[in-house]
Chains A and B, each alone.
Chain A
């Protein structure tokens, strides 16, 4: 197949959508960037900036903004969708009127729909006729991407055609692309890491140092990878760019929205106050709610998520929540069995008798 010239469409003109459009333009593509707001369309097409989300960072001139969804959808074979999870389905439905089965849809949004824990790629599948569907996720803070800091990302899809074509468009001088077949894992990790990011923000905001952060990050990764596995994700994905990689970026960076939200909460703001303070959507709030709601059903213990949920929605004080977290039973690292829990008696008859006798003496 011959590609006349590289073209791509991005749906959503927030910071990440704009950054992705810019990245692909830098890599040599002509990019249409769809957004509803006509003023911002104007701004991007004339001043080549998106001040609302990205301050005065210059956007590559090959990015052309539009508010015409049909025209944007018809422009390219590959469409990246970067819409906050709360509006994702509505826009995907509209997009469903404009796309055909040969087009490739990539979700760039990290979140769930709370009720059924629906992933963004599943929404694309449900609302459009498209089947060539994937997701992009990784340590990609929009501001740093715009400032040309080198980084890498994961494009995930069960269909290799999707990975290949998206990879060709996205990879550039400052972005390496890795492929992954585990779409579920990449999306789940991308979404869940935001919960840990909020917790990390709280932790930093309370003035704790690297020990505390490292504990939070490691144990956070353990619980979100367990949750991912329950949803059918591959455990290895948690250790990749979309899992550990993204976790390090968001938990360590003051640029992360979720991290910032956490720090505001630690400073004593309520969720409403913290959210009113910024125009950017912190996806972790919605994700915390969704994950807490489904953790019990899936049989996954998620203490950190529960703690974040208590701070966000039950107005618990971070200090109290921390005491509770620290006073949990001490456990074996991977099996989650409490250290002092009576072990099931196993082994030969003699071993059994001896174990029972020892136990009665307090061993």
Chain B
């Protein structure tokens, strides 16, 4: 976000949140200001007991000790001042220590720096061949025109799928490459602490989000910041999964925070009679052959069921060499990361005409969406309970788009086929046991695998034609099962510590069942397992 715009947003957020705090304190069942500050103090103190690696730990402790001292003997007027100080503290942190000079330099450097990072070229090679073409590595496809048009007609919230910490630079690059202005984006503090990532985060117009902070007041401030930035016409980027998806599946249970900010901004825009009040949500998928942090993510998924470590601070993406390894492979294998832009939806989950920007019902009839939030006299009103229902429906629409615009790549297709074959072969075993027992013994006949891949591919093809998913352009789309398996094996043999699938003679073996499971999961949610059961169950010699 532009510096001046950002400052304007901060000022607005402070005054709105302060006003709301004062207003609710007047209500009979409202929270008095001193209780509110105390509650925030309590949450922060509790966080600071455990969050000792926070770079601002000492400062925070001092700040909150100060608040505690002042609060003890504060008059009513002083409590308000203390609350102001707390809001200032939160908003300053969200904005970050922002240097306009650095920002200017970095924005110019970004288009060059990112390809270099992603291609991980040695300086020597760089000198020989010049800066490589980013287009070779990141492929952008789908409804790009729709996205651009929505950006003209209103304010866009871009909502990508989230599997990797590389997603942020990748989508940042894609936004730049599509000729769109920088999107503002709430990035976890951990991304700023990583030397490789932090540079890019700042350049993406990112603001800081500290997911360790649990104080409700802090969350209100964050959400209001997103709302205000949207009202200022600033396009936003938001990962609705909330965190990187651990299981490898296409995310279907979404966090609705920023989507509801979109609805709120829309209603505010109507109240202010803005010329372009519309907010458009544009889902998009990021598709990788191999996922940088796959090992850590699936490990985490398997360990819990329910109580995941929500924030992983130490994984592959924090280790520079691992990133270089990963990106090197992208280049060596001519692998592409596919960014697939989906179709726009409105904050109520209706589809939107990609040309006119009007919302449409299922039969293509135009909907006057203002009516959803206005009363009978045409005055826009916020009704939080009603708006939660709207936002939940918008979330469902985004989740549907994710499945529809998921791009199936060779590694996922082959992993799915082999996993299902193994599952049926060891039908007595549950998922955990199958993973532990592994694919020991004689492995699977490569011919049989190719044949089964063909059958899975046919089922995928039907779904592709029906518009339920996409097959990656090139080898996967061609339907040459032998080539698909070969491509997948090439990828699986390179980056991960142990090959996910490896071929020895005419047999294939999985040497990392967790990863096999992880990659297979991307094909779930399409009802393939049941449909293909007779095919995949057939005993293989």
Question: Contacts A101-B368, A129-B350, A131-B372; is A96 near B363 (CB within 8 Å)?
Answer: yes
Is A97's CB under 8 angstroms from B374's CB? no
Interface residues on chain A, number (Cβ under 8 Å): 19
CA distance A128 to B376 in the complex (A): 19
Task: Give residues 367-386 of B contacting A (CB, 8 Å).
Answer: 367-372, 374-377, 383, 385-386
Partner of A129, one of B361, B375, B390, B392: B361
Contacts of B363 in A (CB 8 A): 93, 96, 127
A351 on the B face (CB < 8 A): no
A77 on the B face (CB < 8 A): yes
B348 on the A face (CB < 8 A): yes
Is A101's CB under 8 angstroms from B372's CB? yes
Task: Give residues 186-242 of A contacting B (CB, 8 Å).
Answer: none
Task: Give residues 116-153 of A contacting B (CB, 8 Å).
Answer: 126-129, 131-132
Contacts of B348 in A (CB 8 A): 101, 131
**In the complex, residue of chain A having the shortest beta-carbon distance to the beta carbon of B349:** A131
Contacts of A127 in B (CB 8 A): 362-363
B388 CB to nearest A CB, Å: 8
Contacts of B375 in A (CB 8 A): 1, 102
Q: How large is the interface on B (under 10, 10 to 19, 20 to 34, 35 or more residues)?
A: 20 to 34
B365 on the A face (CB < 8 A): yes
Known: A97-B365, A127-B362, A159-B385. 15 other contacts (CB 8 A): A77-B376, A96-B361, A96-B363, A101-B348, A101-B371, A101-B372, A102-B374, A103-B371, A127-B363, A129-B365, A129-B367, A131-B389, A158-B389, A159-B386, A159-B389
B87 CB to nearest A CB, Å: 31
B480 on the A face (CB < 8 A): no
A161 on the B face (CB < 8 A): yes
Contacts of A103 in B (CB 8 A): 371
A167 CB to nearest B CB, Å: 15
24 contacts between A and B (CB under 8 A): A1-B375, A1-B377, A77-B376, A96-B361, A96-B363, A97-B365, A101-B370, A101-B372, A102-B371, A102-B374, A126-B362, A127-B363, A128-B361, A129-B350, A129-B365, A131-B348, A131-B372, A131-B390, A131-B393, A158-B392, A159-B386, A160-B385, A161-B383, A161-B386
Contacts of B383 in A (CB 8 A): 161
**In the complex, residue of chain B having the shortest beta-carbon distance to the beta carbon of A4:** B376
What 0/1 readout, one digit per residue, does chain A (77-104) give for beta carbons within 8 Å of chain B?
Answer: 1000000000000000100110011110
The CB with the most chain B CB atoms within 10 A, among A77, A101, A103, A161, is that of A101
- Interface residues, chain B, with chain A CB atoms under 8 Å away: 348, 350, 361-363, 365, 367-372, 374-377, 383, 385-386, 389-390, 392-393
CA distance A129 to B372 in the complex (A): 10
A245 CB to nearest B CB, Å: 26
Contacts of B393 in A (CB 8 A): 131
Contacts of B371 in A (CB 8 A): 100-103
CA distance A77 to B377 in the complex (A): 12
**In the complex, residue of chain A having the shortest beta-carbon distance to the beta carbon of B372:** A101
Is B385's CB under 8 angstroms from A102's CB? no
Is A101's CB under 8 angstroms from B369's CB? yes
Contacts of A159 in B (CB 8 A): 385-386, 389
Partner of B376, one of A1, A126, A132, A158: A1
CA distance A1 to B372 in the complex (A): 15
CA distance A93 to B363 in the complex (A): 9
**In the complex, residue of chain A having the shortest beta-carbon distance to the beta carbon of B377:** A1
CA distance A1 to B377 in the complex (A): 8
Partner of A161, one of B368, B369, B385: B385
CA distance A129 to B349 in the complex (A): 11
Question: Contacts A129-B350, A159-B389, A161-B386; is A102 near B365 (CB within 8 Å)?
Answer: no
CA distance A127 to B365 in the complex (A): 10
CA distance A77 to B375 in the complex (A): 10
Contacts of B350 in A (CB 8 A): 129
B8 CB to nearest A CB, Å: 32
Contacts of A160 in B (CB 8 A): 385-386
CA distance A218 to B368 in the complex (A): 48
The CB with the most chain B CB atoms within 10 A, among A102, A103, A129, A158, is that of A129
CA distance A160 to B390 in the complex (A): 12
Closest 9 CB pairs of A and B: A101-B371, A102-B371, A129-B367, A101-B372, A129-B361, A100-B371, A159-B389, A1-B375, A160-B385
CA distance A158 to B370 in the complex (A): 20
**In the complex, residue of chain A having the shortest beta-carbon distance to the beta carbon of B378:** A102
CA distance A97 to B363 in the complex (A): 10
The CB with the most chain A CB atoms within 10 A, among B369, B370, B371, B383, is that of B371
CA distance A297 to B375 in the complex (A): 43
Contacts of A96 in B (CB 8 A): 361, 363, 365
B272 CB to nearest A CB, Å: 20
CA distance A159 to B386 in the complex (A): 5
Contacts of A131 in B (CB 8 A): 348, 372, 389-390, 393
B380 CB to nearest A CB, Å: 11
CA distance A101 to B390 in the complex (A): 12
Contacts of A101 in B (CB 8 A): 348, 367-372
Task: Give residues 257-297 of A contacting B (CB, 8 Å).
Answer: none
CA distance A77 to B376 in the complex (A): 8
B485 CB to nearest A CB, Å: 33
Contacts of B376 in A (CB 8 A): 1, 77, 102
Contacts of B386 in A (CB 8 A): 132, 159-161
CA distance A159 to B348 in the complex (A): 14
Contacts of B365 in A (CB 8 A): 96-97, 129
Contacts of A102 in B (CB 8 A): 371-372, 374-376
Contacts of A158 in B (CB 8 A): 389, 392
What 0/1 readout, one digit per residue, does chain A (1-36) give for beta carbons within 8 Å of chain B?
Answer: 100000000000000000000000000000000000
Is B368's CB under 8 angstroms from A100's CB? yes
The CB with the most chain A CB atoms within 10 A, among B348, B362, B383, is that of B362
Contacts of A100 in B (CB 8 A): 368, 371
CA distance A129 to B376 in the complex (A): 17
A132 CB to nearest B CB, Å: 8
**In the complex, residue of chain A having the shortest beta-carbon distance to the beta carbon of B383:** A161
Contacts of B368 in A (CB 8 A): 100-101
CA distance A128 to B367 in the complex (A): 9
A301 CB to nearest B CB, Å: 19
CA distance A195 to B275 in the complex (A): 55
Contacts of B389 in A (CB 8 A): 131, 158-159
Contacts of B385 in A (CB 8 A): 159-161
CA distance A1 to B378 in the complex (A): 11
